[in-house]
Structure 1
Amino acid sequence: MAHALTLLLESPVLVAVVLITGIGGTFQYGFHISVLTSPSVYIKELVNRTCVQRYGHSLEPWELSLIWSFTVSTYSIGGLLGALGAGHLAAVYGRKRCLVFNNLLAICGAVLILLSKTAQSLEMIMAARLLYGINAGVALTVHTMYVLECTPKSLRAMVGVTVAGFVSFGKFSGQVLGISEVMGTDDRWPFLLGFSGFIGFLQLATLPFLPESPRFLLLNRGDRLASEKALRRLLGPGVDVCSEVEEMQAEKAALQSVRNHSVKELLLSASVRWQLLTIIVTFTTLQLCGINAVYLYSTDVFRAAGIPTHNLRYVSLGTGLCEVSTTIACGMVIESTGKRVLLIRGYLGMAASLLVLTITLYLQERVSWMPYCSMVLIFIYIFFFSSGPAGVTAPLPGELFTQSFKSAAFVVACTLNWVGLFFVGMVFPIIVEHLDYFCFLIFFFFCLVSGGFVWYAVPETRNRSVLEISAAFQNMHNKTKPAPEEKHDALPLSHTHTGQATKL
């Protein structure tokens, strides 16, 4: 761990890549998950006031709740659209250029938000949320691709955790800026929601000075000289980059006989069935484990746990700080612990926390100090989430699949992520209304099943390349032989000795 951190700090340009791409990448995704909690009251008042002025109709509570849920979930619709187009845009325009232009969406969304209150327009807020979603959908995919492709194999696991780290930092920043002492007031909430425009401008002004992905330059553009130049800038002038370039060159030669597979072919392929199931289970559980429900509606969750109203905002800040610190710790231990262990421990720990939390919520009216037990359990739950699924899940599509299946795997993973987020945003308020605290049992089920799946169906991936991971899956589930055409896909890569050589 210390050696990897030292190597990273010896490459200041690579550190800049991690920070600049992160702050304008997955930071935006996390920020918009938590930022609506604080100004929700003021936006609902704006919606009701607008309906009275336009139509002379004051909204019923259920009508207002439905409009609000759709406003929240519009972000997920935009995210799905962005994720579906991100792979093609990154392949055509390059990783860096795609991220640069993506910031224009965040800036346009911020302008709409800043004008929405003056214009008394809910439609402008929804349009801004849609643009923010497209921006985050593109950033989630391209940020992950770009930062991992700029990183040498020895640092890839640690740097991969920063993708989730910036999500957590974005959530925490949304909570801090949303308190009433900062921007969480009736006068300043447009500036709070428009903060993403500033972040987008910051990346727009700095990212052009960083190099393009060396892997993209060589494998997609065929420009070896540009790839070597980018590697030297990233790793430092005194570092020998010949071995990295030769590995990519061998991979390029092998990939000339292998075509990229479509999503349909990925879904029907028997050779990667268990890798696909792993992606489906982990990305579905990432949304249906309950973590985003806590951030989207954290005030309601903690009020149900019995926390006094005047302490709610500080408890919410504590949850964000807990996730940030635990995610950082996960990045420090991931090389020595392994991703399989972190996933199993995280899922089963979350399941146990949610089960006991349901019991404490049931007893909170009978025992005076029980609400504080509920609060502690929520923090324990966030600890287990951040120490496993949060940091491990996002890079999985690029680490479990060979090059020919990788693009399709990212499409499947990102689609599941955004559909799950939309489902949580629309359905969770209804679930809470009808099930009360028993809603946590639904999340308990998903966490328990996912922990069992990883335990019995996913091999350890630490210090293994993509091809070694594929072989481990086949050895664990060796019930059918791969089809001839699927063998053909794997054989050329085996001659490179590294393939995609992502060591977990």
Structure 2
Amino acid sequence: MRIMFWTATTPCVQQTVTWSLVQSVMASVLGSLQIGYHTGNINAPQMVIEEFFNQTWKERFQEPMSLHALTMLWSFTVSTLALGATVSALTVGIVADHYGRRNSILIANSLSLMAVAFMGVSKIAGSLEALIVGRFLIGLFCGLNMTLIPLYIQEISPTRVRGAFSTMNQLSQTVGIFIGQIMSLENVLGTSRWWTLMLSLSAIPAVLQYLTLPFCPESPRYFIINCHKDELAARELQRLRGTQDVLEEIEEMKEEAANLKGTEDVTMLRLFIVSSYKQPILIALILNASSQLSGFNAIINYSTKIFRLAGVAHPTHTTMGIGAINILFTIFSVFLVERLGRRSLLMFGQFVMALCNMLLTLSIATLHLVGPYVFLLFTGFLLVAVLYTYFRVPETTGRTFKEVAAEFRQADAILTSRF
């Protein structure tokens, strides 16, 4: 099946979206659904899980945990996911280049199933350590897939619709967050009896991914750039495009592979020393930092407690409202990204988040005098990110990898000539 349409940026250019491409994108973002699910499901059942911690501690040591120790243990349990993601993110390039994009996603998927097993038995085994290990394994899974999935989608998608398809990754995460928020409600599965089952439900999309993704094409770019197998790349690209005429794209990938010769042994240190790498690396670091330091994760992980302290009557329902709005605006971005461009939407989102952090600070300050001002730090990071994006980040809408790389090389040449 082939779907024909025209993009807003190039009204005369006909694009083809095949069923193979759609299936590949949908199968890959089942991993993003799991990331979102485990981001959104740990919030509402905080008191239930803290009671499990306290009860387990009393059975072991015949005394309850102190409030300070309980708070520290809960915070560590929540943040263990981020710790695991940090560890695995350092290895994602090695895994992706060695096993391929699609196969690496499937390998990462096994970590999700292992995590579900640990979290699922934690209550029966009376082991708070099993829950923490499960969160760490989910973190490893998240750290890999947060790079692998968008990389796979970008490399299999046609240039003119790459932005829209890449947005499906974020949309799947927001849907996962919302589902996690619903499942963790006290009148659903966020109870002292069913919370381990609630944490284990991500096994469903994990199994579905194993049933679908193995039948999807591997990234043609991986075959050309990493394996130097042009015939395999052409065959996979023909499946994705639904046509035998893929010579132009293949030649573009081969030219990109030629430009990458000599960079195979680039070390982490050289990434920050070689001048031609500095600008793209700096952009990647700042944009990712602006996302992680935006305050979004703090809201998602602790919103129920924040709303409860703010005096909101139904804090869990308000948290669900955040999830619903998250989905709504991600859907908008699917349709707007090719019209308005990635850079414009990025700056708009950063500015709005900065404004919202200021409003959160003012609203929570009517309960507390010091604690809520942490959101001003997030505001500062975001405002810096807006300015940096405006002055230094190039627009990539409708541009090939080759064209974006050429712009970086040109900018580097200009900078070198000045000094």
Give 1:343's aligned residue: 346
Per the TM alignment, residue 128 of structure 1 is displaced from its structure 2 partner at its CA by: 1.0
Give 1:208's aligned residue: 214
Whether 2:300 is the aligned partner of 1:295: answer: yes
Per the TM alignment, residue 477 of structure 1 is displaced from its structure 2 partner at its CA by: 8.2
What fraction of aligned residue pairs are identical, expressed as a percent?
30
Per the TM alignment, residue 40 of structure 1 is displaced from its structure 2 partner at its CA by: 1.7
* Pairs within 5 Å for 1:249-268: 249-268=254-273
Instruction: State whether residues 28 and 167 of structure 1, in contact with CA within 8 Å, keep that contact through their aligned partners in structure 2.
Output: yes
Instruction: State whether residues 89 and 98 of structure 1, in contact with CA within 8 Å, keep that contact through their aligned partners in structure 2.
Output: yes
Instruction: State whether residues 459 and 476 of structure 1, in contact with CA within 8 Å, keep that contact through their aligned partners in structure 2.
Output: no
Per the TM alignment, residue 70 of structure 1 is displaced from its structure 2 partner at its CA by: 1.0
Instruction: State whether residues 109 and 197 of structure 1, in contact with CA within 8 Å, keep that contact through their aligned partners in structure 2.
Output: no
1:260/1:322 CA distance change after superposition, 3 Å: farther
Per the TM alignment, residue 478 of structure 1 is displaced from its structure 2 partner at its CA by: 7.6
Instruction: State whether residues 457 and 476 of structure 1, in contact with CA within 8 Å, keep that contact through their aligned partners in structure 2.
Output: no
Per the TM alignment, residue 121 of structure 1 is displaced from its structure 2 partner at its CA by: 0.5
Per the TM alignment, residue 107 of structure 1 is displaced from its structure 2 partner at its CA by: 1.3
CA distance in 1, matches of 2:135, 2:157: 32
Instruction: State whether residues 37 and 297 of structure 1, in contact with CA within 8 Å, keep that contact through their aligned partners in structure 2.
Output: yes
Whether 2:33 is the aligned partner of 1:19: answer: no
User: Which of 26, 45, 49 does residue 39 from structure 1 map onto?
Assistant: 45
- Which consecutive unaligned segments of at least 5 residues does structure 2 have? none
Per the TM alignment, residue 465 of structure 1 is displaced from its structure 2 partner at its CA by: 4.0
Query: Which residue identity is paired with 1:100?
Result: L
CA distance in 1, matches of 2:135, 2:81: 5
CA distance in 1, matches of 2:167, 2:224: 25
Instruction: State whether residues 35 and 171 of structure 1, in contact with CA within 8 Å, keep that contact through their aligned partners in structure 2.
Output: yes
1:235/1:261 CA distance change after superposition, 3 Å: same
Whether 2:190 is the aligned partner of 1:187: answer: no
Give 1:123's aligned residue: 129
1:139/1:461 CA distance change after superposition, 3 Å: closer
Task: List per-residue Cα deviations over 1:116-156 (Å, max 9, x = no partner).
Answer: 11111001111111111111112112212212111121221
Whether 2:204 is the aligned partner of 1:198: answer: yes
CA distance in 2, matches of 1:179, 1:29: 18
- Which consecutive unaligned segments of at least 5 residues does structure 1 have? 366-432, 484-504
Give 2:94's aligned residue: 88
CA distance in 1, matches of 2:381, 2:34: 27
Instruction: State whether residues 78 and 131 of structure 1, in contact with CA within 8 Å, keep that contact through their aligned partners in structure 2.
Output: yes
* Pairs within 5 Å for 1:355-504: 355-362=358-365, 435-466=370-401, 468-469=403-404, 472=407, 480-481=415-416
Per the TM alignment, residue 51 of structure 1 is displaced from its structure 2 partner at its CA by: 1.1
1:154/1:292 CA distance change after superposition, 3 Å: same
Task: List per-residue Cα deviations over 1:6-35 (Å, max 9, x = no partner).
Answer: 9788411111111111012x2222221221
Task: List per-residue Cα deviations over 1:240-291 (Å, max 9, x = no partner).
Answer: 2222222223333443355452221111233343333322221112111111
Task: List per-residue Cα deviations over 1:467-503 (Å, max 9, x = no partner).
Answer: 54456567778874179xxxxxxxxxxxxxxxxxxxx
Of residues 246-255 and 153-162 in structure 1, the stretch that sits farther from structure 2 once superposed is 246-255
CA distance in 2, matches of 1:470, 1:256: 14
Whether 2:83 is the aligned partner of 1:77: answer: yes
Pairs aligned (count): 412
SS of 2:231 mapped into structure 1: helix
Instruction: State whether residues 81 and 135 of structure 2, in contact with CA within 8 Å, keep that contact through their aligned partners in structure 1.
Output: yes
1:93/1:10 CA distance change after superposition, 3 Å: closer
Query: Which residue identity is paired with 2:35?
Result: Y
Whether 2:111 is the aligned partner of 1:108: answer: no
SS of 1:271 mapped into structure 2: helix
Give 1:417's aligned residue: none
SS of 1:30 mapped into structure 2: helix
Per the TM alignment, residue 218 of structure 1 is displaced from its structure 2 partner at its CA by: 2.2
User: Which of 56, 59, 62 does residue 65 from structure 2 map onto?
Assistant: 59
Of residues 322-331 and 91-100 in structure 1, the stretch that sits farther from structure 2 once superposed is 91-100
CA distance in 1, matches of 2:16, 2:258: 33
Q: Normalized against structure 1, the TM-score is what?
A: 0.75
1:332/1:2 CA distance change after superposition, 3 Å: farther
Aligned-pair Cα RMSD in Å:
2.7
Instruction: State whether residues 270 and 482 of structure 1, in contact with CA within 8 Å, keep that contact through their aligned partners in structure 2.
Output: no
Query: Which residue identity is paired with 2:372?
Result: Y
CA distance in 2, matches of 1:179, 1:8: 43
Instruction: State whether residues 108 and 197 of structure 1, in contact with CA within 8 Å, keep that contact through their aligned partners in structure 2.
Output: no
Instruction: State whether residues 29 and 168 of structure 2, in contact with CA within 8 Å, keep that contact through their aligned partners in structure 1.
Output: yes
Per the TM alignment, residue 173 of structure 1 is displaced from its structure 2 partner at its CA by: 1.4
Give 1:151's aligned residue: 157
1:41/1:234 CA distance change after superposition, 3 Å: same
Of residues 298-307 and 184-193 in structure 1, the stretch that sits farther from structure 2 once superposed is 298-307
CA distance in 2, matches of 1:267, 1:10: 38
Query: Which residue identity is paired with 1:317?
Result: M
1:258/1:128 CA distance change after superposition, 3 Å: closer
Give 2:239's aligned residue: 233
Give 2:252's aligned residue: 247
CA distance in 1, matches of 2:119, 2:112: 11
Runs of 4+ in 1 over 6 A off after TM superposition: 5-9, 474-479
Query: Which residue identity is paired with 1:141?
Result: T
CA distance in 2, matches of 1:476, 1:84: 28
CA distance in 2, matches of 1:104, 1:466: 31
CA distance in 2, matches of 1:468, 1:91: 22
Of residues 241-250 and 444-453 in structure 1, the stretch that sits farther from structure 2 once superposed is 241-250
Q: Normalized against structure 2, the TM-score is what?
A: 0.90
Per the TM alignment, residue 232 of structure 1 is displaced from its structure 2 partner at its CA by: 1.9
CA distance in 2, matches of 1:34, 1:224: 42
